[in-house]
Amino acid sequence: QSSSIYITLTIIGFFFTGVPGSMVVTWTTFNKTESKVEYSFLGGRHFEMTANGDATLFVDSGEEQRHMYIHRVTLTGLKPAAAYVYHCGSDKGWSDAFFFAALNDSTNFSPRFALYGDLGNENPQSLARLQKETQLGMYDAILHIGDFAYDMHEDNARIGDEFMRQIESIAAYVPYMTCPGNHEATYNFSNYRNRFTMPGQTESLWYSWNLGSAHIISFSTEVYFYLEFGLELLFKQYEWLKKDLEEANRPENRAVRPWIITMGHRPMYCSDDDQDDCTMFDSYVLHITTHKNVEFVSFTGVDLELWAHEHTYERLWPVYGYKVYNGSKEQPYVNPKAPVHIVTGSAGCREKTDMFNPNPKDWSAFRSTDYGYTRMQVVNTTHIYLEQVSDDQYGKVIDSIWVVKESHGFSAWF
Ligand SMILES: [Fe+2]
């Protein structure tokens, strides 16, 4: 019999490399095999092109020390917006065939995102809706803002395998962009670092990328909490963040990509009542980043900040240093004078949803404890649209805003 019976092709993550016309396909086998992707334009003869890559051995730190091979194959020279069909594996066994559209690299492109955090293996309530909407072509990219699987390392990392199979029906079709959350911390984030493939050289811990008129920064709030894994991570990330923001803020860069959007797991502001960081309205992330001058210096000129961790949805008024800076009374999000924050961590996990403090501060604009996720479209250089989908209410849109900025950057706030 062929040796293919030993091969399990399970995990296909389809991640954007950050380089236009380039995507990386990531999957896992439990035997050492070659790493190939065969692909072609959708509608043509299948699998006319072949790309080769490498596999790295990942040994889980659980008792069984399970071995798996994480395959990475980069596809280059993709034609922007063209549709492709592909499968991955090797002559020892192939995956199902999937399709994707190569990302449009024009700065006039209006990308559509689904974004959420805190999606688990158990009780992943929004998953079916996200799978279907992704396959219907409603999104150009997904932002998963930390906390996966609950937890990937459990059962000797079999929960990680199972979770990756669950998101394959999303992540094999569109770029699945991530940042680490507290649930990834075990064995120094090793499951997270190994299973995902984000741009840059930080094992997916922090990075930035561009799409349409947006510059998107992903960073780890967890460097502030797990100091046992090295204080140097905190300083490295801070230095990188400063440099990245300086670069994005250069007039010639900001002119073509004026929107600067950040994503990080634990929010600076939230009004949940779950004995968590935000219970006293003074989150550790805000506190420490204020002292490290992240909010007051590095976040200068950031338009939109996306967070998760709290298992609820909360939209904030433009806020800076605990103070609300609405654009105007009638149109708070038209030319806001501070970053706009969204906390969206209610995709669904075994910990269920959280409760809110009954007396929110004045920076809190809208709150929901429904399961769900957020949709975002970066329409053009002046307009971003955001809406909240309630999965409890069968996909009903329960909140929406337009953020309008006629000018961007620090000076636009005065
Ligand atoms: Fe979390």
DSSP assignment string, 111-149: -EEEEE--EESSS-TTHHHHHHHHHTT--SEEEE-S-EE
CA quadruple 161, 17, 268, 164: dihedral, nearest 10: -10
Residue 285 C-alpha to ligand 1 middle, in angstroms?
12
Residue 183 C-alpha to ligand 1 middle, in angstroms?
6
Average pLDDT over residues 259-275: 91
Beta strands 83-90; 98-101: pairing state: antiparallel
Residue 147 C-alpha to ligand 1 middle, in angstroms?
5
354-403 pLDDT, tens digit per residue, is 999 999 999 999 999 999 999 999 999 999 999 999 999 999 999 999 99
Determine the pLDDT at residue 12: 65
Which amino acid makes up residue 201?
A: Q
Average pLDDT over residues 118-138: 97
pLDDT category of residue 1 using cuts at 50, 70 and 90: very low
pLDDT category of residue 298 using cuts at 50, 70 and 90: very low
pLDDT(281) > 70? no
pLDDT category of residue 308 using cuts at 50, 70 and 90: very high
Determine the pLDDT at residue 286: 72
Domain 3-101: which CATH number of 3.40.1640.10, 3.30.413.10, 2.60.40.380, 3.60.10.10: 2.60.40.380
pLDDT category of residue 19 using cuts at 50, 70 and 90: confident
Residue 371 C-alpha to ligand 1 middle, in angstroms?
15
DSSP assignment string, 88-108: EEETTEE---EEEEPPP--TT
Q: Which residues contact 212 (CB under 8 A, 6 or more apart)?
A: 104, 106, 107, 108, 109, 110, 111, 257, 378
Determine the pLDDT at residue 325: 94
pLDDT(321) > 80? yes
Distance CA 375, CA 267 (A): 18
Using alpha carbons, select from 319, 379, 18 the residue that is nearest to residue 197. Answer: 18
The residue extents of the domains of the chain are 3-101, 112-413
Phi/psi for 217 (5° steps) reads -110, 125
73-108 pLDDT, tens digit per residue, is 999 999 999 999 999 999 989 999 999 999 998 999
Distance CA 278, CA 295 (A): 17
Residue 293 C-alpha to ligand 1 middle, in angstroms?
23
pLDDT(122) > 70? yes
Determine the pLDDT at residue 285: 73
Residue 146 C-alpha to ligand 1 middle, in angstroms?
7
Residue 196 C-alpha to ligand 1 middle, in angstroms?
18
Residue 237 C-alpha to ligand 1 middle, in angstroms?
19
Predicted model pTM:
0.95
Q: Which residues contact 296 (CB under 8 A, 6 or more apart)?
A: 290, 321
Residue 283 C-alpha to ligand 1 middle, in angstroms?
13
Distance CA 289, CA 292 (A): 5
Ion ligand 1: residues, Cβ under 5 Å: 147, 181-182, 309
Domain 112-413, CATH = 3.60.21.10
Residue 276 C-alpha to ligand 1 middle, in angstroms?
10
Residue 182 C-alpha to ligand 1 middle, in angstroms?
5
Mean pLDDT score across all residues of the chain: 91
Using alpha carbons, select from 96, 98, 141, 105 the residue that is nearest to residue 19. Answer: 105
pLDDT category of residue 230 using cuts at 50, 70 and 90: confident
Residue 297 C-alpha to ligand 1 middle, in angstroms?
25
Distance CA 129, CA 86 (A): 24
Determine the pLDDT at residue 87: 94
Residue 184 C-alpha to ligand 1 middle, in angstroms?
9
Which amino acid makes up residue 231?
A: L
